[in-house]
Structures are given as C-alpha cells and as structure tokens.
C-alpha cells in the first residue's frame, strides 16, 4: 500500500528519502472521532437503548450502537495517510474504495488549523489545506483530521515556506521549532473584550435567535399547544390593546434574546482574536476562538484586497469589520477571511492600512454616481415601501381590515426616503494606484478594495430600466474572495473609463469615439 506506483525515475535520491515519509494522522484522533461519531449517532444510540430496554432481550444491540461509531473512527485512522513529495502533497483515503487527492505545493494557498474543545484537550489540530482550485463545488481542499499540535504546525510551516525547506529535508527539527518561536512576527491586532458591545448590532444575533426559535418553535408548532392557546376563550376575550402589548413584549423579548445570543456567539468565535504578520514567510496569521480555536494563515501573495463591512448597525455605532479577499479560501465562507471582528472603525481602518500598505483605498473620497443613480435609489426604495400602506388602505376601504394597520405602516415611505438617501450617499467608486475601490449598500454595506492586478475580467450588466437611465452595473471578476465585486449603477461612460483605466490595454481595443 505504501509502494509508490508511478513515480518519476529521474530523481531517485530525493524520491527514496520521501518514499519513507508516508505519514498518518495522530493516534490520539482515535479518541476524537468516536466521541464525535457517538454525538452524531446519539439519536440512533438512544433509540437503540430505548428499544433495547423495551424489548425482552436487547443485550447485544447496546454494544453495536457504540461499536459502530468507534469502528468508523478506527477505519478512518487506518485508511488515511499523506505525504509531501518535493513537488506536491498527496492524501490517500479509503480501504475498499480509494481516493487519492494530489495538489501541487505551489498551488497551496492557505492552511487552516482548527481545534474543537475535544481536540484541544487532546492536543490535536485539524488541518485544512486550501488549493485555489477553480472548482465551484469547493470540496477540493485537503483535510487532515487530525494531527498533533506540533505536527500540524510543522506541516503548515512546510507547506507555506516550501521554497527553501522542502528541498533541504522537510522533517528537520529546525523547522519544527519555527512556528513556536515565530521569528520576526509582529502582532498587529489583539482582541479587546470590550468590543463585544458591537455584537448585538450585527445581524448574526438575529440569525442565531431565529435559528433557536425555529429549533424550539418547530416542535411547539407540531404540538397543539399554540392552536390550543389561540382558540381558547382567554385569548379571544382579550382586547386588541392587550394583543398589541403582547406583540410588543414578544418583540422586545426577541431583541433581548438575539442581543444575548449575538454577544455569546461573538465571544465564542472571536475570543483571543490575534492577527500577526510573519515577515519571514510573508504571511498573515489569524488565531481566534474560545472553545473551538481556528488558525488561518494567509499568504501575502494570495491576498487580493480587503472588504470593510459596514452594516447599518455597526456604522451607526462607529464600528466595522474587516475581511481579507484571498484566493484559495473555502467558497462556503465566500472566500473571505476575517482580519478584524466587529471593532471600532479606527481599529478596522488601522489594520486595513497596514495590510494594504496604502492609505488611499480606505480613505480616498469616492466618485459619486450622479443624478440618474440617485433617482434610481429613491424610486427603488420608496415605491415598494409606499405600496404597503396604499394596498392596506385599499383593503380597509374594501373590507374588514383593522384601520390601525394603515397607521402603523404609514411612516414606511418616509423610511424609504432615509434609506434611499443613505444608499446614494454610500454609493461610490475610486481608482488608486493599486486598487479598485467600490462602496455600496445600507444595511449590509461594504467598501471593497480589490487589487487591480487581481481583476481577471469585466462584466457589464444593464437591465431594461438601467438602460433607460443610462446606467450599468460594472462587475470585476476575480479568482479571490466572492469571485466578483460590483460597482453598482454607474453611468455607462464612467464605467467604461473605470474598467479601461483599472486594467490597461484590455477594454481599450473595443472602444470607439462617440459619434453623437
């Protein structure tokens, strides 16, 4: 099984040395996987035990329920091995079916180490290697679950410092000591627990709360409890006022709940957040997590820009988040890796400037998109919001709809005006010596700075209404991050000029002088 099948004969010496280097997962993973599998199989196991005790002689079933998960863990350990040859990393999996993943070392973009609580107690790390493959499914990354902490860090060093080390012997103890001592590494950002005050302003709290309510509410809805309450005489005898008080207190309760959950989630995820720069390997290094720790290493050569997230809540509180635009990160997380969690804006901008080594992209005044774009913002914000009270008014006139619905929704168009004004003010773009900058959005607003050399194509979209307004949406496509970054609703001539200036020599061959 460990015999090389198709190795090139041309470099026998190094091959011989590396042949012996089939490595396996750390034996301690045997303890992690069964625990994980037992948790995953918990419903089945409980079912078996319940059935078993209910039946007359369910003896052996008890043990099978536990044995299967443990067996799966054993099989996974026995069937996984990997090695690093001078040119590539190979991962073998499977006993009957066989799955070989191979990736050239120079395509390794990122290395991520994660450790759940169980991993940490056992001194283990799960290693995920991102290889910037353009597959959209995104499951092409190599996962080693798990290695000893030392081993994992050594592997990361090997993979990211490949140029000199691999040829001189990848298991030399010198490299092993490397990451622990971390020569020439500068801490750029350290987590401040006071930042937790921004957590309730992010949307994640609402999401968690909705999820939690769904988990609790699902079974509740299944039972007859809610309909019983709704149909009971007690409820129907309540006055409208009491109902609205009830609704208001429910809303308030939801807000408090989501704030608490958001804060908890924020602390769990970002506790001990540390961003460091390692000069020797030209990488940035993010470490975070209270229970599950996560370490991401970002190769500076793979960094294509930054996203400054300024959702409404954070913006009003003078805060923001910073994500890196990187090639080869997991598509599931949309290829953006957090560099600063929700934190005060000066901190975010400070780190951003440090990373970009240029103040322009994050500070530069943006070119506004003009009156047509402004009109479009107002129409798009106000029309749908004004329709709500109008339709309700119609319903009131036609039938037995409570009139206070109209009163309640009447301020919506005013909100629309505010929304449109904010959206237009935030809309803008700029071109700096090295970056294309675009900013947009109110609730989920962002300012993206994308390296001009990272742009690998332009899409110019125009809907029917945009064409009438003389506007286009200009999208820069890239191999990194979200894969595309959009300059929204910009005048056609401006868009063309921007695309032409940002990537010289590409668009110019398709330009003509305007005849009109």
Partner 1 sequence: MADSELGSGPVLRDPANLVSPRARIVWRTGAAIRALVPFVVALVLQLTGAWDLPLWVWIMYAVVALADVVLMPIYRYRVHRWETTATAVYTQTGWIARERRIAPMSRVQTVDLEQSVVGRVLGLATVTVTTASAAGPLRIEGLDRVTAERLVDDLTRRAEAEGGDAT
The β-bridge partners of 101 are 91
Q: Hey, is 275 helix, strand or coil?
A: strand
Helix or strand holding residue 219 (H, E): helix 204-222
> What is the C-alpha separation between 356 and 305, in angstroms, rounded?
7
- Residue 288 binds partner 1 (CB under 8 A): no
335 versus 344: smaller Cβ distance to partner 1 = 335
Q: Among 385, 483, 487, 490, which residue interacts with partner 1 (rule: CB under 8 A)?
A: 483
Residues whose CB is less than 8 angstroms from the CB of residue 280 and which lie 6 or more positions away in sequence, other chains included: 161, 183, 184
- Residue 467 binds partner 1 (CB under 8 A): yes
Contact 443, 312 (CB under 8 A): yes
> What is the C-alpha separation between 152 and 112, in angstroms, rounded?
10
- To 10 degrees, what angle do helices 29-40 and 59-79 make? 130
Helices (H), ranges, 277-433: 312-316, 345-356, 360-363, 370-398, 404-409, 412-426
Minimum Å distance from CB 470 to partner 1?
A: 5
> What is the C-alpha separation between 300 and 306, in angstroms, rounded?
12
* Burial (CB count <10 Å: 0-12, 13-18, 19+), residue 266: buried
27 versus 134: smaller Cβ distance to partner 1 = 134
- Residue 516 binds partner 1 (CB under 8 A): yes
- To 10 degrees, what angle do helices 370-398 and 412-426 make? 160
Tokens linked to 479: 């191999």
Residues whose CB is less than 8 angstroms from the CB of residue 279 and which lie 6 or more positions away in sequence, other chains included: 184, 185, 186
Q: Among 134, 181, 215, 234, which residue interacts with partner 1 (rule: CB under 8 A)?
A: 134
Binding mask 93-132 for partner 1 (x = CB under 8 A): --------------x------------------------x
Stretch that binds partner 1, among 173-181, 267-275, 279-287, 460-468 (CB under 8 A): 460-468
Q: Among 54, 218, 219, 505, which residue interacts with partner 1 (rule: CB under 8 A)?
A: 505
- Residue 332 binds partner 1 (CB under 8 A): no
- Residue 506 binds partner 1 (CB under 8 A): yes
- Residue 496 binds partner 1 (CB under 8 A): yes
- Residue 497 binds partner 1 (CB under 8 A): yes
Contact 123, 29 (CB under 8 A): no
Which of 146, 91, 85, 83 minimizes the C-alpha distance to 113? Answer: 146
Minimum Å distance from CB 496 to partner 1?
A: 5
> What is the C-alpha separation between 207 and 351, in angstroms, rounded?
28
- Residue 330 binds partner 1 (CB under 8 A): no
Minimum Å distance from CB 335 to partner 1?
A: 9
Minimum Å distance from CB 498 to partner 1?
A: 11
Minimum Å distance from CB 456 to partner 1?
A: 4
The terminus-to-terminus CA distance of the chain in angstroms comes to: 73
Binding mask 55-94 for partner 1 (x = CB under 8 A): ----------------------------------------
Which of 183, 185, 198, 182 minimizes the C-alpha distance to 347? Answer: 198
Residues whose CB is less than 8 angstroms from the CB of residue 300 and which lie 6 or more positions away in sequence, other chains included: 282, 283, 284
Stretch that binds partner 1, among 3-11, 64-72, 259-267, 467-475 (CB under 8 A): 467-475
- Residue 492 binds partner 1 (CB under 8 A): yes
Residues from 439 through 458 that contact partner 1 (CB under 8 A): 456-458
Q: Among 5, 475, 488, 498, which residue interacts with partner 1 (rule: CB under 8 A)?
A: 475
33 versus 331: smaller Cβ distance to partner 1 = 331
Minimum Å distance from CB 457 to partner 1?
A: 4
- Residue 470 binds partner 1 (CB under 8 A): yes
- Residue 477 binds partner 1 (CB under 8 A): yes
104 versus 183: smaller Cβ distance to partner 1 = 104
Residue ranges in contact with partner 1 by CB under 8 A:
107, 132, 134, 136, 327, 331, 456-464, 467-468, 470, 475, 477-480, 482-484, 492-493, 496-497, 499-500, 503, 505-507, 509-514, 516
């Amino acid at each position: 099984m460990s015999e090389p099948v198709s190795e090139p004969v041309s470099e026998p010496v190094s091959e011989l040395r590396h042949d012996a280097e089939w490595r396996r997962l750390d034996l301690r993973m045997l303890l992690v996987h069964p625990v994980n599998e037992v948790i995953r199989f918990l419903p089945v196991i409980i079912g078996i035990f319940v059935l078993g005790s209910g039946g007359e002689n369910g003896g052996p079933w008890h043990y099978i329920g536990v044995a299967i998960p443990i067996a799966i863990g054993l099989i996974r350990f026995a069937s996984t091995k990997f090695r690093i040859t001078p040119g590539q990393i190979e991962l073998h999996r499977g006993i009957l079916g066989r799955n070989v993943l191979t990736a050239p070392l120079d395509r390794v973009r990122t290395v991520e180490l994660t450790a759940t609580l169980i991993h940490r107690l056992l001194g283990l790390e799960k290693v995920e290697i991102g290889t910037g493959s353009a597959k959209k499914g995104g499951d092409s990354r190599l996962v080693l679950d798990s290695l000893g902490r030392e081993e994992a860090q050594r592997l990361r060093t090997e993979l990211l410092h490949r140029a000199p080390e691999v040829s001189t012997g990848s298991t030399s103890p010198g490299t092993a000591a490397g990451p622990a001592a971390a020569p020439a590494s500068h801490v750029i950002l350290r987590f401040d627990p006071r930042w937790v005050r921004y957590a309730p302003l992010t949307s994640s709290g609402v999401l968690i709360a909705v999820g939690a309510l769904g988990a609790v509410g699902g079974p509740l809805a299944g039972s007859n409890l809610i309909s019983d309450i709704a149909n009971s005489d007690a409820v129907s005898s309540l006055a409208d006022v009491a109902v609205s008080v009830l609704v208001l207190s429910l809303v308030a309760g939801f807000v408090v709940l989501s704030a608490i959950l958001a804060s908890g989630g924020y602390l769990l995820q970002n506790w001990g957040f540390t961003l460091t720069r390692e000069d020797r390997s030209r990488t940035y290094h993010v470490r975070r997590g209270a229970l599950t720790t996560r370490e991401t290493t970002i190769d500076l050569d793979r960094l294509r820009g930054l996203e400054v997230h300024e959702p409404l809540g954070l913006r009003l509180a003078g805060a923001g988040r910073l994500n890196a635009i990187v090639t080869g990160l997991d598509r599931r997380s949309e290829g953006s890796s957090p560099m600063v969690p929700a934190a005060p804006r000066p901190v975010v901008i400070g780190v951003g400037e440090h990373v970009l080594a240029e103040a322009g992209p994050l500070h530069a005044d943006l070119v506004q998109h003009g009156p047509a774009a402004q009109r479009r913002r107002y129409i798009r914000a106000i029309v749908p919001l004004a329709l709500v009270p109008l339709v309700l008014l119609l319903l009131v006139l036609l039938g037995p709809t409570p009139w206070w619905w109209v009163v309640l929704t009447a301020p919506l168009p005013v909100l629309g005006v505010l929304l449109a004004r904010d959206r237009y003010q935030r809309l803008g773009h700029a071109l700096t010596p090295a970056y294309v900058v675009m900013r947009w959005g109110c609730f989920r607003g962002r300012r993206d700075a994308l390296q001009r050399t990272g742009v690998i194509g332009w899409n110019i979209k125009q809907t029917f209404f945009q064409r009438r307004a003389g506007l286009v949406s200009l999208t820069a496509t890239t191999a990194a991050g979200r894969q595309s970054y959009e300059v929204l609703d910009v005048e056609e001539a401006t868009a063309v000029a921007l695309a032409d200036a940002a990537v010289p020599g590409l668009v110019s061959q398709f330009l003509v002088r305007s005849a009109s």
